Structure 1
């Protein structure tokens, strides 16, 4: 028989728990909010009054609606008051021992038909369910912060979840005005598993000297269209939270990319946790005072050699000509025409040092990779002079693009971060963990990405991503960079789109 959820309990009324209680109350459900003591209960009530007050101030709720929402919520310090709840959602700190103790207690208190849900963002729902006599009625219901605003809810099923329960919880999420995605019980679920792998990988690339903090952030924000760069996002999430999630991911996957990067550990140990402490990867003390932009100056260059073929090289040379620079074109097979150029620019998304050693003055060669409409990765080899890099950055800026400095390594910045993230999504799909549509939806709604990973894959091209991953694997020898078997097979079979492949 299909369940109906009319009375809901929320245990833990911190910022997240109070937001979840508000979401249920806004949808017309009766809510019992539980906290450990009167002080915590008072803070929880304050969170709800503040949140609904802001909604009234912004015209998203009337004062009468605010009153009705708050009246639907009963506040208590006694778990026994949850005895008649149809559903109880746990929103206490991410400590497995605390959650298991709570669920054992809820199992004793709640009626036999009640569903027990955890809002954990990364811990094992199966391990939590195992403490109860009703593991089939325990499920993950992961809201995103702030719960009243964020549309996504991850619904997490375990191997013992009762048939039909995930669909019922997903329907409840839609009743709340949310968009549910259903996934299996793997550490990090969908969003955190993909997001933290990418963020931690950015930390490893920073430590390796591939590029600087600001260059990596700029590349991913302006080049890929993400809402913010990885280090800005890490500071927003909190470096301690990110570190803890990476630890959970690594304990399950044993994937080196999930092992917290040493720089992340060092910052956490030093208490530099991001925005909440005023400093993390960035200092947040003087936010709001942006430095004045530097005036552009035209580089003093007489002749620029452009190495590359196809329309990209011709278009770049035409842009230089329009800006008043003399350019000469050459192909990689014959560098003779550019041997005497003041600068030699190679348009490539692959390492270029092999071309530099073929020039009489290799220190003049710089690689360029055009990313999107506005970003250019400026690639220096171990032979490139600082003067050449500076001149090319100035040249790129004069042409109206944003330069991102990086070392001459496979994938450069954008592809070295983007392709493994896409590969992770393919592996997630491959093991039946979630559908391509749900994974895309989760990353769009949970992270604000302009497109989901499978939409990105289809736009870039499966073969191009596969080949890029092979180049990364050849350089770094990290198993995580080896193309997922499904990706390899689809390319071999000539299938153009993972989403159309089903």
Structure 2
């Protein structure tokens, strides 16, 4: 018989918990909200009133609708008031001992038929369920912040979850106006298992000196089309939260890519947690985009690289008033390339004049400096890029430069996740679009970039860094070898 959920409890009324309570109340469900003490309860009331008040001011709720939502939420400091709830969702701090202790208490208080759900973003649901006498009635129900706005809910079943229960919880999520993605119990589930290694890798690349903080964020926002740069997003999530999720991922996988970046650990230890503390990778200032500068002080430029692309770039330079010359005579040599250019530089009489240039999308050009490139040449190349209407991202001459070094492993992780049988192509694309605001899911990006392009980029990254997690997923290798253009072309 299908489970029905008419009364729901929410334990923990911080920003996330209050948002979850609001979501249920908006759907016409009676909610019992519990906090630890009167002061915390009043803060929770403030979150509810503030969120619904903003919706009212923006015309998204009427006064009557807001009153109805608030009227369906009963606030209390007693867990005993959850005794008759059909479902209880915990939204307490992401600390395993705290969650396990709470579930032991909920198991004692709640009626035997009640379903207990955890909103954990990364901790093992199985370990939480094991503290109860009803592990078959325990699931993960991971909402995204802000819960009233974000459409995704990850529904997590364990090996002991009763048959059909995850489907009933997913149906409840749809009743709430959400899109559920139902998966098994792996650290990070879909979204954080894919998102956090990418964000963590950005911190690693920053620490290695590949590019500046603003350069990395600009490259991924304007070049890859992501809604926010990775370092800005880390600050928004909270560096402490991100660190703990990485620790949970590493504890399960033991992959170097999941180990928190030393810089991330250092910032957390210093109490620099991102926006919540006022400073993280950024302080009070917002991420910046390089501004326009005066015309570069060179008159002759050589453009080398793939003939068609180089010719088009040279034509644009000529239209901007620059003269082209041969590599031996030009004051600046621009090598249009998607791979490092140091070997090309050493063949020149003046290797200090050469920079690599990788055009990414329609807005960004990565300006790659070799160990021989002079600072003046780098600055001139960045100026040329601005004149031609692109934003320069200065970086070191490394495989993948910035965008490839971050994007290709991120997409590779998605292929590995699908290959393992954990989630389907559609589940992964849906989760990343709705959970992270991506304009396209990972497999949609793969189709756009081309499987072979991503495979070759990963091979270059592995050859340079020798990290096994950067080697192409076996499925990706097989698809390219077979001439398959999209993973969606495989028989279902």
**Same structural fold, with TM-score higher than 0.5 when normalized by the shorter chain:** yes
* SS, match of residue 163 in structure 1: coil
For 1:420, the equivalent position in structure 2 comes to 409
* SS, match of residue 195 in structure 1: helix
Distance 2:34 2:61 in 1: 25
For 1:270, the equivalent position in structure 2 comes to 270
Find the partner of 1:467 among 456, 465, 473. 456
CA deviation after TM superposition for structure 1 residue 258, in Å:
1.3
CA deviation after TM superposition for structure 1 residue 6, in Å:
0.9
For 1:133, the equivalent position in structure 2 comes to 133
Find the partner of 1:305 among 279, 302, 306. 302
Deviation digits for residues 231-256 of structure 1 (CA, Å, limit 9, x no counterpart): 11111111111111111111111111
CA deviation after TM superposition for structure 1 residue 109, in Å:
1.7
Deviation digits for residues 7-47 of structure 1 (CA, Å, limit 9, x no counterpart): 11111111111111110011001111111222222221221
Deviation digits for residues 167-208 of structure 1 (CA, Å, limit 9, x no counterpart): 211111111011111122111111111111001100111111
Distance 1:65 1:294 in 2: 47
CA deviation after TM superposition for structure 1 residue 302, in Å:
2.7
* SS, match of residue 444 in structure 2: helix
* SS, match of residue 131 in structure 1: coil
Question: Please, which moves more after superposition, 181-190 or 216-225?
Answer: 181-190
* Normalised TM-score (structure 2): 0.97
For 2:431, the equivalent position in structure 1 comes to 442
Alignment of 1:188 with 2:188, yes or no, is yes
Alignment of 1:379 with 2:376, yes or no, is no
Q: Describe how 1:403-414 pairs up with structure 2 within 5 A.
A: 403-414=392-403
CA deviation after TM superposition for structure 1 residue 301, in Å:
2.1
Alignment of 1:315 with 2:304, yes or no, is no
Find the partner of 1:364 among 348, 353, 357. 353
For 2:14, the equivalent position in structure 1 comes to 14
* SS, match of residue 36 in structure 2: coil
Deviation digits for residues 123-147 of structure 1 (CA, Å, limit 9, x no counterpart): 0001011111211111000001111
Deviation digits for residues 342-387 of structure 1 (CA, Å, limit 9, x no counterpart): 1111110101111111111111111100000010000111111111
Q: Describe how 1:18-167 pairs up with structure 2 within 5 A.
A: 18-167=18-167
Distance 1:278 1:86 in 2: 40
CA deviation after TM superposition for structure 1 residue 97, in Å:
0.8
* SS, match of residue 44 in structure 1: helix
* Normalised TM-score (structure 1): 0.95
Distance 1:456 1:49 in 2: 40
CA deviation after TM superposition for structure 1 residue 396, in Å:
0.9
For 1:204, the equivalent position in structure 2 comes to 204
Distance 2:286 2:427 in 1: 36
* 2:292–2:386 CA contact under 8 A, matched in 1: no
* SS, match of residue 232 in structure 2: helix
For 1:338, the equivalent position in structure 2 comes to 327
Distance 1:180 1:111 in 2: 26
For 1:242, the equivalent position in structure 2 comes to 242
Aligned CA distance change for structure 1 residues 127 and 401 (closer, same or farther; 3 Å)? same
Aligned CA distance change for structure 1 residues 472 and 287 (closer, same or farther; 3 Å)? closer
- Please list every run of at least 4 consecutive aligned residues from structure 1 whose deviation after the TM superposition is greater than 6 angstroms: none
CA deviation after TM superposition for structure 1 residue 499, in Å:
2.6
Instruction: Structure 1: state its 5+ residue gaps.
Output: 329-336
Q: Describe how 1:223-242 pairs up with structure 2 within 5 A.
A: 223-242=223-242
* SS, match of residue 275 in structure 1: coil
Deviation digits for residues 313-356 of structure 1 (CA, Å, limit 9, x no counterpart): 1211110111111224xxxxxxxx42221111111010111111
* 2:336–2:358 CA contact under 8 A, matched in 1: yes
Let me know the Cα RMSD of the aligned residues.
1.5
Alignment of 1:491 with 2:480, yes or no, is yes
For 2:169, the equivalent position in structure 1 comes to 169
CA deviation after TM superposition for structure 1 residue 75, in Å:
1.5
Alignment of 1:348 with 2:337, yes or no, is yes
Alignment coverage as a number of residue pairs: 491
Question: Please, which moves more after superposition, 470-479 or 50-59?
Answer: 50-59
* 2:303–2:333 CA contact under 8 A, matched in 1: yes
Distance 2:221 2:343 in 1: 30
Aligned CA distance change for structure 1 residues 287 and 475 (closer, same or farther; 3 Å)? closer
For 1:400, the equivalent position in structure 2 comes to 389
Distance 1:435 1:287 in 2: 37
Deviation digits for residues 242-290 of structure 1 (CA, Å, limit 9, x no counterpart): 1111111111111111111111111111111111222111111x569x8
Distance 2:215 2:456 in 1: 25
For 2:379, the equivalent position in structure 1 comes to 390
Distance 2:44 2:350 in 1: 68
Instruction: Structure 2: state its 5+ residue gaps.
Output: none
Distance 1:215 1:172 in 2: 43
Deviation digits for residues 25-73 of structure 1 (CA, Å, limit 9, x no counterpart): 1100111111122222222122111111111111111111111111111
* SS, match of residue 276 in structure 2: helix
